[in-house]
């Protein structure tokens, strides 16, 4: 899988992309992530400006459409995977869910657009982005953090990224349920004991216990998922 990110803060990404599951997946060739400075397509070699004042007045600055369009055009011309699926990260988009992450993980090529300032020219959303996604009902300073969240959630679902692909199937939201409680050694810590069923070695009873605990946890903490 290939993922390209268009951002005015490319320096934010290397620590995240080189660490943990994403870094190992990149080393194994499971995913290739490219981070590109949007200012390279500003058309303004001296000031590298990618924003301007909004038509109609108002506070702040708006990101211009042409750097985004030109950057995606350039990436598409050099790519061999056909046309990329372009995602705009924005608080006004549909909320990112595990179902959507699973859908994105099946696409061969994603291009992520990171906004900043007072937003992005509406023509980017209307004519360039294939979809607009949000990671929650709150406002962040920029789209870089949502892009990192999306990359992490997508990469871990690509076969070969995790040491055990079963891990991705068992995690929270995979079956619209929260994950069951997990325990490790010691079996008794400060009077808090691991449930006996997990020490029994009976795989059938353990599977039943885990399913019941997932249902109970979901009903208690996220009843909306069951509904």
Query: Is the bond into 186 cis (omega within 30 degrees of 0)?
Result: yes
Distances (CA, A) of 5 to 13, 88, 114, 206: 9, 10, 7, 42
**How is residue 41 annotated by DSSP?**
G
What CA–CA distance (Å, rounded) separates 17 from 76? 22
pLDDT of residue 37 exceeding 70: yes
87-138 pLDDT, tens per residue?
999 999 999 999 999 999 999 999 999 998 888 999 999 999 999 999 999 9
State the greatest distance between any 2 C-alpha atoms of the chain, in Å, as a whole number. 69
pLDDT of residue 77: 93
Planar angle of CA 129, 133, 160, nearest 5 degrees: 95
Distances (CA, A) of 72 to 48, 77, 144: 17, 9, 17
Q: Which domains does the chain have, with CATH numbers?
A: 2-155 (3.40.1280.10), 172-226 (1.10.1270.20)
pLDDT of residue 207: 96
pLDDT of residue 172 exceeding 80: no
* Residue 170 pLDDT level (bands cut at 50, 70, 90): low
| pTM for the predicted model, two decimal places | 0.88
């Amino acid at each position: 899988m290939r993922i390209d990110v268009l951002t005015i803060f490319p320096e934010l990404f290397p620590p995240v992309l080189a660490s943990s599951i994403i870094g190992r997946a990149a080393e194994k060739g499971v995913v290739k992530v490219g981070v590109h400075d949007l200012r390279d397509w500003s058309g303004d070699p001296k000031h590298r400006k990618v924003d301007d004042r909004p038509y109609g007045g108002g506070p702040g600055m708006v990101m211009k459409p042409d750097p985004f369009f030109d950057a995606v055009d350039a990436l598409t011309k050099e790519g061999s995977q056909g046309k990329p699926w372009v995602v705009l990260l924005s608080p006004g988009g549909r909320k990112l869910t595990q179902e959507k992450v699973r859908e994105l993980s099946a696409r061969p090529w994603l291009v992520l657009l990171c906004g900043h300032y007072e937003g992005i020219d509406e023509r980017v959303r209307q004519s360039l982005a294939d979809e607009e996604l949000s990671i929650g009902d709150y406002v962040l300073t920029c789209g870089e953090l949502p892009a990192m969240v999306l990359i992490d959630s997508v990469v871990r679902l690509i076969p070969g990224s995790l040491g055990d692909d079963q891990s991705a199937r068992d995690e929270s939201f995979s079956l619209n349920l929260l994950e069951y409680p997990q325990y490790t050694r010691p079996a008794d810590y400060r009077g808090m004991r691991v449930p006996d069923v997990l020490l029994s070695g009976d795989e059938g009873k353990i599977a039943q216990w885990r399913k019941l605990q997932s249902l109970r946890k979901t009903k208690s903490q996220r009843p909306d998922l069951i509904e």
